[in-house]
Amino acid sequence: MLSTAAIANSTELIFCYEDKTVAPMFLAQSNEMLGTQPEASLEILQNLDNTLSQLSIRYQRKAWLSCLNDLRTNKVNAVIATYRPERTEFAQYPMDGTQQLDPRFAVSEFGSCLIGGKKFHQQWQSREVFQTRAFTLAIANGYDLGKVLHQEPFFVQHTSSVEKAVELIDRGVVDATLDVCQVGDRKVSNFRYKTAQVQAIYPPLEKAQGYLLFSKQFYQQHKALSQRIWQTIAAQDNAKLYVEYLDKTNHEARVVSSRHR
């Protein structure tokens, strides 16, 4: 616990985070928010708050667009999001000496893989030989193929969830689905579907990094502190934390699913 004097001398940071669990940003059609588990993001900031005595964080949980708009109007000081050039007009990302985005200071990195059975794995590896082969891909509502998969021959069938997509794979209705398979350097293959005969195809087809970005106003007023915050977050094992929350959430989902069988 910080003393009253320490709190009085600390800088307040208002952090806004998503008010519901969402798909990782690179999978979401809205292409707005990288969150996966808002509780994990919250714990990362709480660890930061406990580490830096010169910082005092106030938390606000809202719809993502409200967080982004509040950052633009300086009502909040920070959010976690992926890089988009248009956001640099009102938000500050961690940059290197050449003013390029510095991935060393990413809060998180999520990789997406194709998920399918053994037969699909073999067919996918030989797709360049049999170029006329088109695969059927089940995509959960709210997910997108991404730039890489848009170039591949897929028939897309939308489903209500990833679990439903895996069920369709098991029944032979579709060939594959798309899901998170890696967090940082940690593989999380098969974490959703322990009983299904499906596996992820590595390496991930696409990756996306989440950054803690500050409002321009906060960054200009607290440049040294902002740099210290980025460095401190990067030193934490954030991937381990995200994986723990993913495991917990998907274990709970499997328990609920088993009760309805």
Q: Are residues 98 and 10 both part of a single domain?
A: yes
Tell me, what's the pLDDT at 30? Answer: 41
- The verdict on 78 and 116 lying in the same domain is no
Quote the pLDDT of residue 172: 92
| Residues 174, 120 share a domain | yes
Q: Looking at the structure, do residues 42 and 133 belong to the same domain, yes or no?
A: no
Which CATH number does the domain housing residue 233 bear? 3.40.190.10
- From first to last of its 261 residues, the chain has per-residue pLDDT tens of 455 545 567 999 999 998 765 545 445 444 443 444 678 888 999 999 999 999 999 999 998 899 999 999 999 999 999 999 999 999 999 999 999 999 999 999 999 899 999 899 988 888 765 555 689 999 887 776 777 777 777 889 999 888 899 899 989 999 999 888 999 999 986 556 665 678 899 999 888 899 999 999 999 999 999 999 999 999 999 999 888 888 776 655 554 444 444
Residues 98 and 114 in one domain: no
- Report yes or no on 180 lying in a domain: yes
Residues 102 and 16 grouped into a single domain:
yes
Model pLDDT, residue 151: 78
Domain residues for the domain of 58 are 4-108+208-249
For residue 30 the two structure tokens come to 């809205």
Residue 59 lies in a domain: yes
Same domain assignment for residues 104 and 118: no
- Number of domains comprising the chain: 2
In a shared domain, residues 176 and 53: no
Residues 43 and 26 in one domain: yes
In degrees, rounded to 5, the angle at the alpha carbon of residue 168 between the alpha carbons of residues 162 and 173 is: 140
What's this model's pTM, rounded to 2 decimal places?
Answer: 0.79
Query: 104 and 217, same structural domain?
Result: yes
3 state SS of 197 = coil
CA 51 to chain CA centroid, Å, is 24
What pLDDT does residue 126 have? 83
Asked whether residue 255 is assigned to any structural domain, the reply reads: no
